[in-house]
């Protein structure tokens, strides 16, 4: 990660999560719990274990707080909060407001983001965890045996110790495929994107996943000419296709140029620009820009950890764990991006808590039992929990779905936020809810009600029994419950219910 040397906010950030004058403790001979990695999973597990009275060693080789604080959730959402307000200003005439053209001071936007990030960094700071009773080591940690580890400090000295239990929580880093000319020309990833102080006039973004689409929309609204190149035929390929289409249309409306179904072939420099050559349907094309952002995924950090010495099986896809997050060495667990298919901060938090239960209390918490939501914070937002309708094999039964557009919801009509829809997926025979997708304003917040409904195995018709304040966007779930109920009625009763539903609007 790139920190700005003379920036007060970045200096404050470093003083919290990687203090240059940090006094590494003398190692105890035996720790109850060793944690390698100070991102979300590592910090949560270390704090809970120390609170239980365990002797805990936490080792971080870069910045405490990991991806989320330093170059993920926190800085990106700091920029997106500005981008969304800018979007409202750019369309103020829709609300009868005559506003001058919104001007963006990109340097001020980035300074605000860095200040906010620094302001919350103490939550993940080295001093805080020391005060919680954790021995915090800033250095390179590695296993030396199945129950032995060492830390190489910045001055080259060593701290060696034994452990009873351990957690690998070393996270992941940006995935970059070897591409001719890429290293010579240079590129950005999310590790250095947030260190920009001037807005590039143009940028090519490779990848159409969450990071790619979020930053494409934000930088386009800031005034940067954005071209997105991705190998898939549409953006956000893991999402519900209908929902992804809504986001794709929003990107186009913001001026993002899409080159989809295209594979990056090579990169070179011409006339002061970075030129990306791509291949699509057997033909070459190219786009040029002042900057190039690679956002195609993440690669687990498994190198240099001595995993083979610890008896831990791993590959370039991460550390191999069972359903209880145990590695091949039953005394060592793994959690977070280094081990999970769900590379989200909230997933790392949940996995860390599972590790504590399973490692210290003989628990049987399973990763397969988690009901995992996620959200992409574009405008409109897209959020999902549970299964999609095409996942009947995973469900073990036939699935059905119902959807409703926000253009039919009074609150959204009044707010001028009618883009998108909400959809529920349920078992065709029993009506049990198995998943939900929402794409629209505040989609991540609106999903909350469905997290409870899906995890508690509610029936879709039960949604109609939940009372929502009027007018609210979240009432869309109750109206979907009404739809499900009416589908089970005789034609005469269904007609009466339809009139009631219309009145309820």
What separation in angstroms does the CA of 412 have from each of 98, 409, 416, 465?
A: 22, 6, 6, 22
Q: Which of 255, 198, 246 is nearest to 221 (CA)?
A: 255
pLDDT band (50, 70, 90) for residue 493? low
Residue with tokens 């992941």: 172
Answer for the pair 94, 150: CB distance below 8 angstroms, yes or no. Answer: no
Average of pLDDT values for 16-22? 96
Mean pLDDT of 182-211: 97
Task: Give the model's pLDDT for residue 500.
Answer: 62
DSSP 28: P
Is it the case that residue 491 has pLDDT exceeding 70? no
Over residues 326-343, mean pLDDT: 94
pLDDT tens digits along 411-464: 999 999 999 999 999 999 999 999 999 999 999 999 999 999 999 999 999 999
Distances (CA, A) of 437 to 119, 242, 256, 368, 443: 33, 10, 24, 20, 9
Position 496 scores a pLDDT of 63
103: burial class by Cβ within 10 Å (0-12, 13-18, 19+)?
exposed
Which pLDDT band, with edges at 50, 70 and 90, does 347 fall under? Answer: very high
Over the stretch 366-421, which tens digit does the pLDDT of each residue have? 999 999 999 999 999 999 999 999 999 999 999 999 999 999 999 999 999 999 99
Burial class (CB in 10 A: 0-12, 13-18, 19+), 198: exposed
DSSP string, 318-356: EE---TTSB-SSTTEEE-GGGT-S---HHHHHHHHHHHH
Distance CA 411, CA 424 (A): 20
pLDDT on residue 92: 86
Residue 5 pLDDT greater than 90, yes or no: no
Q: Which of these, 293, 234, 224, 239, lies nearest to 259 by C-alpha position?
A: 234
How confident is the model over 211-251, as pLDDT tens digits? 999 999 999 999 999 999 999 999 999 999 999 999 999 99
The pLDDT, as a whole number, for residue 503 is 58
Q: Which two tokens stand for residue 310?
A: 């610890």
Contact residues for 28 (Cβ-Cβ < 8 A; gap 6+): 55, 57, 135, 161
Average pLDDT, the chain: 94
Cα 212 to Cα 172, 275, 295, 435, distances in angstroms: 17, 18, 6, 25
CA 165 to chain centre: 28
DSSP 130-193: HHTTEEEEEEEEEESSSSEEEEEETTS-EEEEEEEEEEE---EEE-----TTHHHH--B-TTTG
| pLDDT of 94 higher than 90 | no
- Report pLDDT for 412: 97
What are the angstrom distances between the C-alpha of 55 and each of 29, 314, 330, 428?
A: 11, 27, 19, 51
Distance of CA 113 to CAs 75, 107, 156, 194, 419, Å?
Answer: 6, 10, 35, 9, 28
- What pLDDT, on the 0 to 100 scale, is given for residue 158? 95
pTM of the predicted structure, to 2 decimals: 0.93
What pLDDT is recorded for position 489? 56
Q: What is the CATH number of domain 380-504?
A: 3.30.390.30
Mean pLDDT along residues 342-361: 95
CATH label, 8-79+110-174+299-369, candidates 1.10.3720.10, 3.40.50.11270, 3.50.50.60, 3.40.50.300: 3.50.50.60
* Confidence at residue 401, expressed as pLDDT on a 0 to 100 scale: 97
Query: CA–CA separation, 243 vs 382, rounded Å?
Result: 7
- The pLDDT confidence band at residue 22, using thresholds 50, 70 and 90, is very high
* The two domains 8-79+110-174+299-369 and 182-296 share their CATH topology (first three levels equal): yes
* Domains of the chain, residue spans: 8-79+110-174+299-369, 182-296, 380-504
Tell me the per-residue pLDDT of 103-145, one tens digit each, with 9 for 90 and over. Answer: 899 999 999 999 999 999 999 999 999 999 999 999 999 999 9
Q: Where does 182-296 sit in CATH, by number?
A: 3.50.50.60
- pLDDT tens digits, 36-86: 999 999 999 999 999 999 999 999 999 999 999 999 999 999 999 999 999
Contact call for residues 351 and 366 (beta carbons, < 8 A): no
Q: What confidence score (pLDDT) does residue 99 get?
A: 72
Residue 490 banded pLDDT, cuts 50, 70, 90: low
What pLDDT does 90 receive?
86
**Token digits of residue 334:** 């793994």
Mean pLDDT, rounded, for 317-330: 97
Mean pLDDT across 10-36: 96
How far is residue 337's CA from residue 73's CA, in Å, rounded to a whole number? 14
With a cut of 80, say whether residue 498 has pLDDT above it.
Answer: no
Beta-ladder partners of 63? none
For 137, the token pair is 């080591």
- State which H helix or E strand residue 227 sits in: strand 225-230
Phi, psi of 470 (to 5 degrees): -110, 135
Classify 498 as helix, strand or coil.
helix
Query: How far is residue 181 from each of residues 97, 280, 296, 297, 450, measured CA to CA in Å?
Result: 49, 19, 17, 20, 47
């Amino acid at each position: 990660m790139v920190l700005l040397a003379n920036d007060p906010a970045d200096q404050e950030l470093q003083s919290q999560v990687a203090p240059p004058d940090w006094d590494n403790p003398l190692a105890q001979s035996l720790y109850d719990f060793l944690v390698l990695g100070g991102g979300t999973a590592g910090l949560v597990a270390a704090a809970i274990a120390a609170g239980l009275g365990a002797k805990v060693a936490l080792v971080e080789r870069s910045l405490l707080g990991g991806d989320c604080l330093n170059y993920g959730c926190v800085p990106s959402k700091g920029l997106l909060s500005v981008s969304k307000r800018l979007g409202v200003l750019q369309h103020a005439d829709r609300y009868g407001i005559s506003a001058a053209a919104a001007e963006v001071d990109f340097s001020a936007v980035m300074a605000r983001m860095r200040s906010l990030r620094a302001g919350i960094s103490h939550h993940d700071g080295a001093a805080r965890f020391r005060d919680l009773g954790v021995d915090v080591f800033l250095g390179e940690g590695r296993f030396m045996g199945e129950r032995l580890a060492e830390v190489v400090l910045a001055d080259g000295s060593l701290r060696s110790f034994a452990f009873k239990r351990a957690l690998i929580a070393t996270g992941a880093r940006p995935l970059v495929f070897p591409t001719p000319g890429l290293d010579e020309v240079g590129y950005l990833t999310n590790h250095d994107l947030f260190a920009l102080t001037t807005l590039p006039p143009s940028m090519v973004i490779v990848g159409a996943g969450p990071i790619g689409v979020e930053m494409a929309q934000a930088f386009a609204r800031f005034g940067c000419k954005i071209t997105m190149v991705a190998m898939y035929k549409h953006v956000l390929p893991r999402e519900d296709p209908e929902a992804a289409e809504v986001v794709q249309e929003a990107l186009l409306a913001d001026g993002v140029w899409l080159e989809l179904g295209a594979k990056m072939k090579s990169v070179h420099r011409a006339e002061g620009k970075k030129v990306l050559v791509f291949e699509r349907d057997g033909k070459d094309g190219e786009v040029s820009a002042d900057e190039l952002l690679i956002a195609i995924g993440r690669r687990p950090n498994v190198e240099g950890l001595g995993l083979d010495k610890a008896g831990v099986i791993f590959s370039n896809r991460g550390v191999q764990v069972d359903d209880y997050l145990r590695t091949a060495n039953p005394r060592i667990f793994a959690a977070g991006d280094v081990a999970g298919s769900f590379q989200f901060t909230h997933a790392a938090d949940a996995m860390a808590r599972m590790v504590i239960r399973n490692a210290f209390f003989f628990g049987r918490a399973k990763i397969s039992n988690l009901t995992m939501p996620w959200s992409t914070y574009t405008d409109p937002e897209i959020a999902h929990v549970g299964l999609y309708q095409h996942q009947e094999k995973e469900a073990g039964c036939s699935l059905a779905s119902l959807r409703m557009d926000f253009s039919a919801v009074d609150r959204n009509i009044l707010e001028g936020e009618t883009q998108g829809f909400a959809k529920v997926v349920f078992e065709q025979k029993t009506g049990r809810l198995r998943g939900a997708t929402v794409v629209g304003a505040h989609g991540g917040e609106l999903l909350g009600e469905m997290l409870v409904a899906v995890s508690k195995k509610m029936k879709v018709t039960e949604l109609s029994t939940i009372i929502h304040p009027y007018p609210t966007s979240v009432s869309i779930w109750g109206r979907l419950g009404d739809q499900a109920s009416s589908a089970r009625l005789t034609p005469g009763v269904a007609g009466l219910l339809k009139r009631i539903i219309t009145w309820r609007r």
